[in-house]
Structure 1
Amino acid sequence: MKPHRYQGSALLLALCCSAGLFLTSPVVAEESLEQRVTRMEKLLESQGLVDLYLRLEALQQEVQMLRGEVEQHGFDMKGIKQRQRDLYLDIDRRLGQLENGRPAVSPGSPAKLPESTAPTAPREQGNPATANPGTEEKAYREAFDLLKEGRYEPARNRFTDFVVRYPNSGYADNAQYWIGEINYVTRAFEQAIVEFQKVLDNYSSSQKQADALLKIGYCHYELKNFAKAREALQAVITRFPKTTPAGLAEKRLQQLKNQGQ
């Protein structure tokens, strides 16, 4: 008699159980591999997040460093712009004063100069360079117009030529002062000191004395010669009290004090 098919299946099932193959070997092996893959994926994800975090942190540090550099540059530029603004306001004030103090000269009439630009020395009779006041003023005006246009190099050349050709002119002290001012504006501070000093040495009665001495102090400040800067600025206050240059000198001395200089 042939065994029933279900009996054979039961026998096979029993053999599998006894051999430990039922729901253990294939399924457990499969689950273990899946778990290992899952753990590996989580590990890789964690490592990727760590790398991403590290890169992000490095970028943040770099941004902070760049921001600090930008702020420093901004501070430096603000200081430079403030100094330029003060300088141009000062120049504009002086140009306005000079313009208002120089009435136009009618052809054939003698030049009428304000008291502040009166000749510092008597003119030599028959000197061809000063024989024609109209020509003298025209030469000064041409240099002055170049200065107002910001054409510093041509203006410096014209003023230098003017001082050589008209050393006794009532405009000579102003011309010499503007030579120094042009050097100051173009940051040639050492040469500016030389030119401003000529105002002090050669035009003792000029009203540009206080301004020239003030700018000598400013030049020493820019060159970081702080002791000489203080000396010049204090001299402005002592020699020319209660004047605009003296007030500016006091402000710069206070600035030096605030900077620990």
Structure 2
Amino acid sequence: MKFKREELRDFLDAKVELYNNPKFIESDPIQVPHIFSKKEDIEIIGYLTATIAWGNRKSIITNANKMAELLDYSPFEFVMKHQNSDLQKLEGFVHRTFNDQDFKQFIKSLYHIYKNHGGLESVFEKYATKDSLQLSIHKFKAHFFEINHLARTQKHVSDPLKNSAAKRINMFLRWMIRNDNNGVDFGLWSRIKPSQLSCPLDVHSGNVARKLGLLKRKQNDAKALAELDKNLRKLDPIDPVKYDFALFGLGVFEAF
């Protein structure tokens, strides 16, 4: 399907308008952080939810709600005040390959990030470059696992510098940073700009992007993400990742 750039922008802007509204939340994992109002609670449950956001969307939402329940609906307080004995209640949790051992490790690593690195926003802001957060994701992973940790858990945090598209962390960052008052993304992190975000690239958005001529590369990896980002920035340099709603909606809801 070939569009001129103006036509493509108009087509995608209309799809953004269609999907970027509170109705989107009803079937999306972002509904789980929307239960909370405190910044740190939203960040922590948002990060945990994004981490398990692969596979069946219904089971992602069910298991993310289960995580919130296991953390007593006070994720920040649980992370900061937990004793080792409190982690026993997480036993038995599983979402695909993310299990209770990983969950316990994430709680310890999140404590470390808030106690020693000023919190999630600070880490991502510290290493942000002018138009990218991919170095931030790499550095975040390094800090997340600089404490004693299980080797198996490392696979649950992607690294763009190892050619991963890091879809789930990019989605989490979209949730935290985009602020368009449409009621979906939170816009909690004011020190990082939406123009620095990368599109969460997965099978659906990748296939749609290829059909629209926004992406030529076949694999959904870091190189493909760089290509897609470049083309989305041509359509909107200030808020390129709003087009995630269009690509995702066309792929999942319209089987484009």
* Larger helix proportion of the pair: 1
TM norm structure 2: 0.29
Higher relative contact order (CA 8 A, sep 6+): 2
TM norm structure 1: 0.28
